[in-house]
Structure 1
């Protein structure tokens, strides 16, 4: 123990398929002195990582596992079916579950879609991971239904994918351990994800109220009114208007004394 406080840092977890680049860039622009470390984690392990303190916040797939984690839903992904390029399904722009009724559709153990099983015929065994299932699709063993981001992540030249209608969608969220109050750096990242501007005060220490500009201008005007006017020999300047022109006729001449008669 050196007795010195550790420098602030922020650890951001993300599951496969999520691309946090945009938010990381904004973080680095706004908080250049606070390093952000990315932690890639399998979707099935993301919640335990957050609970165990392995990350301050993370991009996960809903639903959130447990009531001790907070979450902000961000977006839903298109569901697609991954197929060999020479498969008959590749000839159409969109696929329905009925089109897969006679096809073997793989169901990996790390499946991120919220359903009991995909459409089509089940395989003899469930692949351990999505990556393993992709290899089986390439080998002609079956097809695979996944969020579009995972199809792109596991892209192969001999495979393609098509949107699959009437199926569950994978929803991505930002999640973090519940705490009261929410840690400052987590609040900062929540603000970035929600699109708050750099001048937003939400989640930050409020700035003390400043004197109003109107009051400052009023005080300045009073001070100037008390200063002697050099153009009038040190006397205060006469006010314009009817009140400042007492004893002066409209014609501009002063009233004189009546002359005596001889």
Structure 2
């Protein structure tokens, strides 16, 4: 008989280590397999069963999925180390006015009317955009975790205090769940050890916040909104 396992997908920059550690402590007999997935493919991977649960960023096409908000990432601007932004601890959207800004095709920051002057060339990936930032072509607006993931000694980043944050959620298929998925949802939600082990649990009800995020994701999936200069609400640091 094959050993039990659960596959957790995660997008670049997401940090599954905390939940993987708790899972290993509580369920040493069930292997948690971590699977890196591209941001654009994460929701589809859950629907297809390639992964059973996933850490993904909103907005995403979440039709047929239940989502649990986990945390919201600070949005930052990545610039060369000798950039004027290096003289301050944080910046505002207005500070990016007139700045050339790179927008990769895999951009994950949902910021309609984002500040800066988008350059005509759109690099294919965030990694490609980082290379262009280092070459002095412009700034890059990303979640802080991606700035850390692609860290280079010749680059720095600064939080944009009035930028929208980047929500990270746990996603899994709607409806009744296999026991292992229920167990993992329990871990994420802070359920105490043994409180649901071996018990059939109904699919978790969505909170008002979860419903709002799902609606936002559905609207975003219906059509991508162009990003042009402007402002957004202050994000949590």
Aligned residues: 201
| Deviation by residue 1:123-182 (Cα, 9 ceiling, x = unmatched) | 011111111110000000000011100000000000011111221211000001123x21
Between the two structures, name the one with larger relative contact order (CA 8 Å, sep ≥ 6): 2
Partner of 1:153: 149
Q: How far off its partner does 1:203 sit?
A: 7.5
CA 1:127 to 1:196, structure 2 compared with 1: closer, same or farther past 3 Å? same
Larger radius of gyration: 1
* Distance of 1:128 and 1:56 partners within structure 2: 28
**1:223-262 alignment to 2 at 5 Å?**
none
Partner of 1:170: 166
CA root-mean-square deviation = 1.6
- Change over 3 Å in CA distance of 1:16–1:142 after alignment to 2: same
Number of the residue aligned with 1:186: 181
Offset, 1:74: 0.7
Indicate which of 188, 194, 200 corresponds to 1:199.
194
Residue of structure 2 in register with 1:135 after alignment: 131
Q: Which residue of 2 aligns with 1:118?
A: 114
- Per-residue Cα deviation, 1:104-130 (whole angstroms, up to 9, x for no partner): 011111111112453111101111111
Deviations 1:42-85 (A, max 9, x none): 11110111111101101000134132011100110111100111
Match of 1:26 in 2: 22
Runs ≥4 in structure 1, deviation > 4 angstroms?
none
2:68–2:170: 8 Å Cα contact kept in structure 1? Answer: yes
Name 2:210's counterpart in structure 1: none
Shift of 1:204: 2.1
- Structure 2, unmatched stretches of 5+, are 202-237
Quote the residue 1:69 is aligned against.
Answer: 65
TM-aligned CA distance change 1:48 to 1:201, over 3 Å: closer
Q: What is the TM-score normalised by the length of structure 1?
A: 0.73
Partner in structure 2 of residue 89 of structure 1:
85
Question: Counterparts of 2:41 and 2:200 in 1: how far apart (Å)?
Answer: 34
What TM-score results when the alignment is normalised by the length of structure 2?
0.80
Distance 1:182 1:203 in 2: 13
